[in-house]
Structure formats: structure tokens, C-alpha cells
Structure 1
Amino acid sequence: MSALVIDGLTVVFGAFRALDGLSLAVDPGEVRAVIGPNGAGKTTLLDAITGITRPKSGRIHLGDGLDLTKRSEAEIARAGVRRKFQKPSVFPALTVRENLSLGCGPGCPAATRSARLAAALSETGLEGRADVPAGALAHGEKQWLEIGMVLASEPRVILLDEPVAGLSDAETARTAEIIGTLRRPDRAILVIEHDMAFVEAVADRVTVLHEGRTLFEGGMAQARADARVIEVFLGR
């Protein structure tokens, strides 16, 4: 059973089809990268999954059959779909620990909250920065903190929007290590990214979008050798 199924998804803005009958399935335990040129529909896909944008047609199902196209943003988040945005969305005046606590969400029991915070600090490598205000963190650390805030909610599906944008080579390598620790048999990870070396390091499979449709799906090595992918994306 797939963790996330996109079936015939079409999103239209005026006369522009941002997604045009897109279908894809992400397996539990998989890290899937979605790549492609600007305007291919990558961010629109994440917006549709999280309920920010409503499709004209098509369905988005979690593994248990829940249709996300019929749910609000809050309901989708409660169902276990969490997104890290391209620009880190952290609370600069609060400490790292306090930001992570907010990621747990309201109503989380104290013992559960404590365990989730410890796990998120460990998995992101921010244990030594737990009591530092988020505003004092380096850019890479803010990216990792927001990943930690997503983790603290115990998500079933993690959506990462350009997690290494603006990072140094060392920070990018560390982010790849962090994503490796996020793998779980009951969790799927969907990554949007332009750094192809990073994609090759973290993704099991890639989906290449072009004009709102799937151009290619498979391994990154095969994508690099595909004439269509080279023409519309990698060759640029």
C-alpha cells in the first residue's frame, strides 16, 4: 500500500494548467524527490497536498484512503502531513526547545512532548543549541530546526521544500545525513530540490515534472541519462 497517492491531479489558475492530470505514488519508507524546471508545478503540488490550493479535479489519498482534497489545511496537518517551507518558518524570540515544543501541537501529553523534543534535538543535531533563541541560529541551523518542528508532530508524510537552498556544502551534507535519519517504514518523505547532487544523495526515486505532467520517474542516474530530462531541465 502506498503512503501517498496522487491520482489525475489538475490545478488551474485562469487559463494556466499548473498541474495537468498528474499521478504519482510514494511508498512507505521512501524518500522521493520531485525535480524539474521553474514553473513545472513542484510547489503547486505541495500546495495541493497540504490544502493551500484546491485542485480542479483529481484525488490525493493517504495510505488509509483519506482524500486530502476534501479536507481543510488543519485537518490535513492533524492527519499527519507536515511541510517544511523553503524559507525557514521559526519563531526567532523563542528558544530552539520552545520552537520544537510548538511543533508538537496542542494537547500533546507532557511525557510524550518531552520524548519528542529529545528525539527531534538528537535527529537534527541541535542538542547543544536547545536553549539558544532561534533568531541567533545560522541559516542552516534554522533549516534543521524547522525540520525538527515537523518531526515533533510525528508525521506520516514529510514534505520538504528546497531544504538546502542557501546552504554551504558542509550544511548541505549535514542536511542529507539528517534526512537519512528520518526514514521510517511507516513514513514517506517528499523532497523538492534544485541541487541535483543532494537529490542523488537522498532520494530513492525521482519524479521529473514538466508543464505540470510527469516527464520521467526512476533513479537519479537514469534521469541524468534521459534525453528528455536533459533537454528540458538538466541541460539548462
Structure 2
Amino acid sequence: MSGGTALVIDGLEVEFGRFRAVDNLSLAIDYGEVRALIGPNGAGKSTVLNVVAGVTPAKAGRIVLDDTDLIGLSEAQIARKGVRRKFQKPSVFEVLTVRENIELGLGVPVAKAPSGRIDEVLAMVNLTELADRPAGTLAHGQKQWLEIGMVLASDPKILMLDEPVAGLTDEERQRTAALIRALRRPDRAIVVVEHDMGFVEEIADKVTVLHEGRTLFEGPMSRVREDARVIEVYLGR
């Protein structure tokens, strides 16, 4: 698909014992959009990504990608529908080379991948010159880019990034912002969880502020900074 709504989250509820992590959450994310989810710790941001990816079950609600409800599908089934997620802490195979890590991210045998796809992804994440190095020898920022490359390799419809600039230098942060902007396409939606508000302002088309598992505010970052409720529960801290 190109244009229109990519992902609809409708009445989502997630509970861990007696704690309600996500409380009747509804939002829609469009193709071509970079959406940031922000809010204080415990607001439900990463939990939402977990449910979309099939890692965490929902108590109630729907998550619809195109015309398919993802609730109840396995992680593998959801991945095949075009959903990929990068976790907060880089999760790469350190004994394998950078290229081999990208190959694993393809989700299909290398022989069946589009010609040149691996080299294309290496170039996107600025790791071409390091392709034959063991992933364990990379710097922290380079591992972040490698994991982005791994989830990008299969050309996902929904690309979810959890704190992609955590622990990065200012230069690495700028390069990551440029990378995410370059990944925006009319047939892809990008969802980013991040605490760095300057970074969010650079990349996000729209920001959803979560608080106690619910939407507190939604709009451009310029308006988010001015909202009294957001300042009180999050930015003011």
C-alpha cells in the first residue's frame, strides 16, 4: 500500500497482574509518517511496541495493519505481515560479521533476497566499510545502526525503533536522525520511542504523549512543548 492509514490501535488494554500498563488506548498511524511515542517511564510506550510485535498479549482491543488484526497472531506471523522492531539495547550477533547480521535480518535465504539488497542496507546504515568485521568489535552507535539495518533488511511496512539514540554521542545522534528521515517512504510507517526531545523534534511528523497507558496529548512537537499537562507530568521533570 501507499498512503492512507497503516496501523490502527483500537481500545487496546494490557495488564500485568493488577497493573494496567495500557488503558483503552486508540491511535492511528499513517503510511509515510514518522510517529514518536513519548512520556514518562511506565507510560506504556515500549509495551505498545511489544503488543504490536506479538511479544506481549493484549487483554482487549484490536491492532489492525491494513485489513489484518494482529491480535492473536504469533511474532513470526506478524513479522511476515511486515512488522519489524528494534529493541532499546542493541541485540546483534557479536560473533558474526556485520554482513552476516544483515543477512539474518532478511528473513529469507540470501539466494532468495532481491539482488544487491544486503549491500543496499549496509550503505543505508553507513556500515559498508565495516561489512566484514565481527559485530562485537563495533562501537555502541554502530551496533545501533546495525540493528536498524537488520530490521530494515526485510523492507518492513511498519518499522518500530525503541530509543535508537540511547547512549549515542552528539555526532552519532545527528547521523541517526538523518538515517531515520531517509527511511521515510510512502509505503512505510515508522514508530519511534524516545526520551531525547530534541531528537524527536528533528524526526517526528506527529508525537503521541502517553501517560499511565493512555493518550495525554497528540500533535506536532512544537505544540507538545506548550501543553500544560505534558509539562506537568513529563517535560517539567
Give the shorter-chain TM-score range.
over 0.9
Q: Which structure 2 residues correspond to residues 106-117 of structure 1 after superposition, within 5 A?
A: 106-110=108-112, 112=114, 114-117=115-118
Q: Does 1:53 align with 2:56?
A: yes
* Other-structure match for 2:195: 194
Q: Which structure 2 residues correspond to residues 137-156 of structure 1 after superposition, within 5 A?
A: 137-156=138-157
The code of the aligned residue for 1:49 comes to: V
Asked whether the 8 Å contact 2:36–2:200 carries over to 1, the reply is yes
The code of the aligned residue for 1:106 comes to: V
Q: How far off is 1:110 after superposition?
A: 4.5
Tell me how far apart the structure 1 counterparts of residues 147 and 198 of structure 2 sit (CA, whole Å).
22
Tell me how far apart the structure 2 counterparts of residues 181 and 109 of structure 1 sit (CA, whole Å).
27
Q: How far off is 1:181 after superposition?
A: 1.1
* Other-structure match for 1:22: 25
- Matched pairs, number: 234
The code of the aligned residue for 1:119 comes to: E
Correspondence for 2:37 among 34, 37, 47: 34
Task: Return 5+ residue gaps in structure 2 as ranges.
Answer: none
* Other-structure match for 1:131: 132
The code of the aligned residue for 2:202 comes to: A
Per-residue CA shift, 1:173-198, capped at 9, x if unaligned?
A: 11001101111100000000000000
Task: Return 5+ residue gaps in structure 1 as ranges.
Answer: none
Correspondence for 2:16 among 5, 13, 16: 13
Per-residue CA shift, 1:72-114, capped at 9, x if unaligned?
A: 11100111100000011111111111110111113453451x4
TM-score normalised according to structure 2 size: 0.97
Q: Does 1:62 align with 2:65?
A: yes
Segments of 4+ in structure 1 off by > 2 A? 106-111
The code of the aligned residue for 1:120 comes to: V
Correspondence for 1:73 among 75, 79, 96: 75
Tell me how far apart the structure 1 counterparts of residues 133 and 110 of structure 2 sit (CA, whole Å).
23
Asked whether the 8 Å contact 2:97–2:132 carries over to 1, the reply is yes
Per-residue CA shift, 1:153-185, capped at 9, x if unaligned?
A: 110000000000010111111100110111110
Per-residue CA shift, 1:117-168, capped at 9, x if unaligned?
A: 1111111111111111101100000000000011111100000000000101
* Other-structure match for 1:179: 180
Tell me how far apart the structure 1 counterparts of residues 94 and 109 of structure 2 sit (CA, whole Å).
23
Tell me how far apart the structure 2 counterparts of residues 118 and 18 of structure 1 sit (CA, whole Å).
40
* Residues 108 and 71 of structure 1: CA distance in aligned 2, closer, same or farther (over 3 Å): farther
The code of the aligned residue for 2:196 comes to: D
* Other-structure match for 2:121: 120
Secondary structure in 2 matching 1:109: helix
TM-score normalised according to structure 1 size: 0.97
RMSD: 1.0
